[in-house]
Structure 1
Amino acid sequence: MEAGGVTFAVRAPAAAALWLCLFDGEVENRVAMVRDGDGWRVHVAGVDEGARYGFRAEGDAPFDVAKLLVDPHATELDRAFAYDPRLAEYGADTAALVPKAIVRAPLPPLDLPPLTRAGGLIYEINVRGFTMLHPDVPAAQRGTVAALAHPAVIAHLRKIGVDTVELMPITAWIDERHLPPLGLRNAWGYNPVVPMALDPRLVPGGLRELRETVAALRVAGIGTVLDLVFNHTGESDLLGPTLSLRGLDDSAYARAADGTLINDTGTGNTLDFSRAWVRALVCDSLRHFVAQAGVDGFRFDLATVMARGPGFAADAPIFAEFAADPLLRDRVMIAEPWDTGPGGYQLGAFPDGWWEWNDRYRDDVRRFWRGDGGMGALATRLSGSSDVFGAERTRGVSFVAAHDGFSLADLVAHAERHNHANGEDNRDGHGGEIAWNNGVEGASDDPAVLARRAADVRALLATLFATRGTIMLTAGDEFGRTQRGNNNAYAQDNATTWLDWVGRDVALEDVVAELAARRRALPALRDPALRHDAHWYRPDGAPMRDSDWDGADDVELRLPEFTVRVDRAARRVEVRAVPLSR
């Protein structure tokens, strides 16, 4: 924005003409834009903050001037995206279907208290599902980012020792095209369209709402990480909707030698990070959320895509660009270190300073407590996974359950997925997830079965909180959230994913609070630097030998500051600030 008007600019190098479309209600006023290198530009006098706009691109197919296109740099939209078949129909006008971008001036500079970012407890939150059923949050605020700043919510976060909240996607997304005919909606948000605009369903107060929530959490000593999706956009495959990048410059999407879209994401398209302008859009987005909202870091969905060009490279340009940026270089960066493409699994390969979701921790810990995993693997995970990250420092984010997969309570009650409600004949989701049912599949009223499940959940939680470095807990797992065996609940925007605050297991919640308090009292446990003065012992007090690990069910880890005892038969993991035995 400038005095007396607004300059609009957008990239569309192959277009023959570009039109800025200004809206007064439903009345559209088209203004021709002027080519400026690979982009187009126009200054319009008299336009002020709050103006609504989009673009139309003209040229040979696949350009379709009938499609209203959202500015890839939009920071606010007038409504959420809603799927309609006409969005993918060539020649069908979509002005009435597509959200309009809103002109907004930058907010004033932030003044936030500092936050110490040593390793801690990350708390993964599905923003909408987190408070939809919270009795203390006002009805109008439930399901929004603002609800996270409610005193009752902050009190809960502090009770269980949360250091950082990780918010599942809150930028504007669109439902996958197969969901509306099934009467379903995307509940997770991993299908974004534009990277900077917040979704009005989750953040109706826009950027100001996000920054006020970040500030309230920071005052409580809690950081905020945004889970962002830069691996693909909701424009999907060639049959998908034309909403933004596809209609302006679809060179953003990676293509094979024969011109077909590369699908390393399993969602129809993959952004091409070998292109400098794609990386620039990503960097602009991160800077926007740091400068305007004060967020402390980012978690990147299917992060391997960002280092492809076309193959994964540990020295990919995006890493250097983040590290050199004065606004980004001190932010927390967390990778989901895999995608579905060739060589997509890259756990341990991201640069120093990055944290990585450690699925090997998840799998080995689950196998151990299921009974078919060894003590040696568990010991390695408890100690920080030096086999993955090296012997000096762990960069892993250790977790036993996340949004994707069984909830913690469900993984000890279901040996099989139960995803029928997703409308895909129970074919979606992980068919071989490491889980067990303690003899009865699903709900049970057998006291013995329920007792075994409760013991398993407590053992899993105790293991997590006894683990070196950074750990992650998904919201609700501290009080027994269940998805009734659905291990891919992305399409369940209903009681399946809405946390049951009234019926929660408060006794389990209290156990987690105690575990968190013990962990917080031991800085050496949370320190990601790996220790070489840690030693493992047998129950008789003798040091563990290599031959002892096979079949071991009871061991003790000793450091000068604390001791950890693992007893599989008793379903117990115990951490003490003083030695258990010598």
Structure 2
Amino acid sequence: MTEILSATVLGAAASRPFPLGLSAPLQGDPATVVNVAVWAPDLTELILYFRPPGGAWQAQLLPEFSDGVHHGVVEGMPVGSHYGFGREDVEPESSQLLLDPYARAIDSGEHLLGVRMAADFDWGGDAAPLTPWRDSVIYEAHVKGLTKLHPEVPEEIRGSYAGLAHPAMIRHLRELGVTAVQLLPIHAHLDEVHLRELGLPNYWGYNTIGYFAPHAQYASAAAQAAGPQAVQDELKGMVKLLHAAGIEVILDVVYNHTAEGSQGEPALSWRGLAEHRYYRFDGDPAAGAGYLDTTGVGNTLDFGEPKVIQMALDSLRYWVEEFHIDGFRFDLAVTLGRDAANAFSPQHPFLVAAATSQALSGVKLISEPWDLGNDGWQTGRFPVGWADWNDNFRDSIRDFWLADQGSIANGGTGGGLARLADALSGSTRLFAASGRSQLASINLVTAHDGFTLADLTAYNQKHNAANGEDNRDGNDNNRSWNHGAEGPTEDAGILAARRQSAKNVMATLLLSLGVPMITAGDELGRSQQGNNNAYCQDNEISWLDWSAADQDLFAATRGLVRLRKDYLSAQPSTYPARDETSYLHWFDAAGNPLSPEQWQDGSQRVLQMLLGSPDGVMDGLVVFNGTAEPVDVVLPPLDGREFEHRFSTNASHPERQGSLHRPGSTDQVDANTITIYKA
């Protein structure tokens, strides 16, 4: 048994209960002496077990107990030491010690152990791009999947932090015109039990075991072999290089549950330290109440507990201060706004604190505004300072360009124009209710979860057999359209129609008010073979196949990003959240303002959107033809200028590009297309 050392070498006065985790001591050499503080209010004692590099295991009782925090000063624990917490009878070599929730690095070998780290890194002249919301174009990507098959990235760094920062990858991002990469979780995470039983991994990473530690397996093999410091340095180097290219880094973070899983599974960290405080229970735990789960994964962190709020805020500040992260997307964020009674409030202390924290000033905060609990859908209700994933936008655009078109092609009917116009205007009324403008709307049509853009145009049903759940998992309501053939086809007409639909969706996304988010690979026609829940597919199903890139779709997307920037140049940096103020003007095919009856008429499928600016100058015109036939449209009135044809989602548009058209004249727009003019 490991001998428990005396804890009075430096005296109690040298120890403090903050900050939590490991920190520099008030006295002693910080190279080998460390202050240790762990919140475990219901434990009568807590022992630190640690092993210096090349040394033997040692144990020290944390002698002080202040407001639920066990703390003490420990000598002989230099950087690189492995550590964990346990009882007096624990054998650290053969037992799972309790992991420090604040561990800066995690060794996930046979047992999980924290590692003491240094914060040294040469940031040089690194500066955050601080891209305004109005100018932002977000690119959601997986660190590994993005470059695993990239032929220009050296093989030894493909699928790693270093691979993402390689010049070939940065060149692609800059050519595309995106301003931020939003990375699926890079916090240290584990595979769930049921996946391990199926022989599958948690590829997406939404199963966090450490909110302060990067996922080591996303570093290059060389960095992993060199140790945790090299892993951290590679990640920081990635951020530094992306910043130098003017690209922000946003992290997808999962503070709603942990990798400890359902009640009764082994205690890895929080469950052993303060289970009844960290996790949400459906009643009194002392009376036998079980977990109250609002996340669907078995355990939910209780944001009615101040220490849980503190942990999340401390984590956010750490990633901003130590890794220069520019923003966060919060998975199942409604859970983070639930109080002690499990009710969501836009004024929840965590939501308000994150938006008003000086340390997080200028950092982008993005909610996934739903969870699986009561009143779990809260899009538009998050407070000022937050932006929300806009599922209204997603569903409206999929319906208009895909589900409705599929219905029309099969003799049915489609929806009208009201929902399309609402999406184009950034869901103004939805966000005005919380005092926010259209710039609080993160517009998306696809994301990691669901069909890719290519699969939306190629599959009517999900094809998730590879996930090992008999195709039961994943969403059944995809609002997709296969254009007449399910999956791969050699039919040239179907392939052309699919590409045109993909361009329609991408154009609508990039020409709408709000902040667009592109899913990595959608600009290249990436398919997941119809799998709409590829969370456990760490293989070619999920990895971006650069050799199969659709260069025509990429060119169209790149051009649309540039058109977006051009069209926004004369518009305000923020939009008033008032219904009576509009920079968009709407006309029917005859060039007349739409009547209330036309907005609600499902047979109306042609819309002209004229973009305005604060001084009343009209900047451009976008014509949406959601019918199966070409349509002659009368171009709306303009102040003495002409309309120049800039872009069409029809493949023949280069023949007409640059042609001029007078206001009031008639121009023909092709079936199922978007046509863009510049005033």
Q: Same fold (TM over 0.5)?
A: yes
Structure 2 CA distance for aligned equivalents of residues 57 and 527 of structure 1? 57
Structure 1 pair 239–431 and aligned structure 2 pair: CA distance change class (3 A): farther
Q: Does 1:529 align with 2:555?
A: no
Select 1:256's aligned residue among 279, 282, 290. 282
From 282, 286, 292, the counterpart of 2:322 = 292
Give distance in 2, aligned partners of 1:533 and 1:330: 26
User: 1:433 and 1:35 mapped to 2: Cα distance?
Assistant: 56
Q: Offset of 1:353 from its aligned partner?
A: 2.0
SS at match of 1:491: coil
1:201-280 to 2 correspondences below 5 Å: 201-203=217-219, 204=224, 205-250=230-275, 251-257=277-283, 259-280=289-310
Matched, 1:117 2:132: yes
Q: Is the Cα contact below 8 Å between 1:52 and 1:103 reproduced in 2?
A: yes
Counterpart residue identity of residue 307, structure 1: G
Match of 1:346 among 360, 363, 378: 378
Q: 1:415 to 1:239 in 2, by over 3 A?
A: farther
Please name the residue that 1:134 is paired with: 150
CA distance in 2, matches of 1:23, 1:488: 41
> 2 CA distance for matches of 1:273 and 1:127?
29
| 2:82 paired with 1:52 | yes
Structure 1 528/114 Cα, relative in aligned 2: closer, same or farther at 3 Å? same
Query: For each residue in 1:203-232, what CA deviation from the matched residue of structure 2 results, as whole angstroms up to 9, or x when unmatched?
Result: 343332222211211111111111100000
Please report how far the alpha carbon of residue 440 of structure 1 lies from its aligned counterpart in structure 2 after TM superposition: 1.3
Task: Report the AA paired with residue 74 of structure 1.
Answer: A
Q: Distance in 1 between matches of 2:458 and 2:573?
A: 33
Pair 26,143 (structure 1): closer, same or farther in 2 beyond 3 Å: farther
Task: Give yes or no for contact 1:107–1:292 (8 Å, CA) kept in 2.
Answer: no
- For the pair 1:159 / 2:209, whether they are aligned, the reply is no
Q: Distance in 1 between matches of 2:188 and 2:346?
A: 30
The aligned counterpart of 2:349 is 317
Pairing partner for 2:672 from 563, 566, 571: 571
State the Cα deviation string for residues 350-397 of structure 1 (Å, max 9, x = none): 001211000110101110012233211101101111131128721110
Q: Distance in 2 between matches of 1:533 and 1:229?
A: 37
Question: What's the offset of the Cα at 1:28?
Answer: 2.9
Alignment of structure 1 residues 469-488 onto 2, 5 Å = 469-488=514-533
Distance 2:236 2:678 in 1: 38
Q: Deviations over 1:152-174 (max 9, x none)?
A: 00000011110111011001111
One-letter code of the match for 1:536?
W
Shift of 1:511: 1.1
Contact map agreement 1:15 1:58 (CA 8 A) in 2: no
Q: 2:489 maps to what in 1?
A: 444
- The unaligned stretches of length 5 or more in structure 2 are 1-23, 225-229, 405-413, 613-617, 628-670
Give 1:103's aligned amino acid.
R
Which of structures 1 and 2 has the larger relative contact order (alpha carbons within 8 angstroms, sep 6+)? 1
Aligned equivalents of 1:239, 1:362: Cα separation in 2: 38
Q: Could you tell me the TM-score, scaled by structure 1's length?
A: 0.92
Aligned-pair identity (%): 39
Task: Measure the CA separation in 2 of the matches of 1:440 and 1:169.
Answer: 35
| Distance in 1 (alpha carbons) for counterparts of 2:299 and 2:101 | 17
Q: Report the equivalent of 2:606.
A: 554
Question: What secondary structure, in the 3-state scheme, does the structure 2 residue paired with 1:180 have?
Answer: helix
Q: How does 1:449-464 map to 2 (within 5 A)?
A: 449-464=494-509
> Is residue 2:49 matched to residue 1:33?
no
**Partner residue, 1:12:** 40
Larger radius of gyration: 2
Matched residues, number: 557
TM-superposed deviation, 1:572: 1.8
**Do the aligned partners of residues 413 and 49 (structure 1) sit closer, same or farther apart at CA in structure 2, a change above 3 Å counting?**
same
SS, match of residue 194 in structure 2: coil
Rounded Cα–Cα distance in structure 2 between residues aligned with 1:539 and 1:432:
32
Map 1:396-475 → 2, pairs under 5 A = 396-475=441-520
Query: For residues 162-189 of structure 1, what are the alpha-carbon distances to aligned partners after superposition, in whole Å with 9 as ceiling and x for unaligned?
Result: 0111011001111010112212111100
Deviations 1:445-470 (A, max 9, x none): 12222122111111111111111120
Q: Report the secondary structure of 1:299's partner residue.
A: strand
**1:460-514 C-alpha deviation (Å, 9 max, x unpaired):** 1111111112000000010011110110000001111011011211221111111
Assess, with a 3 A threshold, how the Cα gap between structure 1 residues 526 and 192 changes in structure 2: closer, same or farther: farther
Q: CA deviation at 1:321?
A: 1.6
Given candidates 496, 500, 503, the residue that maps to 2:545 is: 500
- Superimposed CA distance per residue, residues 404-431 of structure 1 (whole angstroms, 9 cap, x where no aligned partner): 0011100111111111111111111112
Q: 1:386 aligns with which of 408, 416, 428?
A: 428
Offset at residue 66 of structure 1 (A): 4.8
1:526-564 deviation line (CA, Å, top 9, x unaligned): 955155242101121111111122122221111222222
Map of 1:85 onto structure 2: none
Q: Any idea what SS the aligned residue of 2:389 has?
A: strand
CA contact (8 A) 1:468 1:528 kept: no
Measured against aligned partners, the alpha-carbon deviations of 1:265-299 in whole angstroms (never above 9, x if no partner) come to 00001110111111111111011011011111111
Of 104, 116, 127, 1:75 maps to 104
**Offset of residue 57 of structure 1:** 4.3
Change in CA separation of 1:57 and 1:374 when aligned onto 2, cut-off 3 Å: farther
Structure 1 residue 7 displacement after superposition: 1.8
- Give 1:46 shift: 2.3
Name the structure 2 match of 1:489. 534
Assess if the C-alpha contact under 8 Å between 2:352 and 2:383 holds in 1: no
Distance 2:677 2:164 in 1: 33
Task: Give the secondary structure class of the aligned counterpart of 2:418.
Answer: helix
Q: Distance in 1 between matches of 2:233 and 2:565?
A: 32
Q: Do 1:16 and 1:57's aligned partners in 2 also have CA atoms closer than 8 Å?
A: no
Quick check: 2:51–2:77 contact (8 Å CA) kept in 1? no
Query: Aligned ranges for residues 537-548 of structure 1 at < 5 Å?
Result: 537-548=587-598
* Structure 2 counterpart of 1:306, from 317, 329, 336: 336
Q: Per the alignment, in what secondary structure is the counterpart of residue 172 of structure 1?
A: strand
How far does residue 241 in structure 1 lie from its aligned partner after superposition? 3.1
Query: Does the C-alpha gap of structure 1 residues 525 and 511 become closer, same or farther in structure 2, counting only changes over 3 Å?
Result: farther
User: Counterpart amino acid of 2:102?
Assistant: H
Q: Which moved more, 1:433-442 or 1:302-311?
A: 433-442
Match of 2:72 in 1: 42
Equivalent position of 1:99 in the other structure: 112
SS in structure 1 opposite 2:442?
A: strand
Return closer, same or farther for 1:324/1:538 CA change in 2, 3 Å cut-off.
closer
- Per-residue deviation, 1:248: 0.9
Q: Could you tell me whether the CA contact under 8 Å between 1:466 and 1:575 is conserved in 2? A: no
Equivalent residue letter for 1:244: S
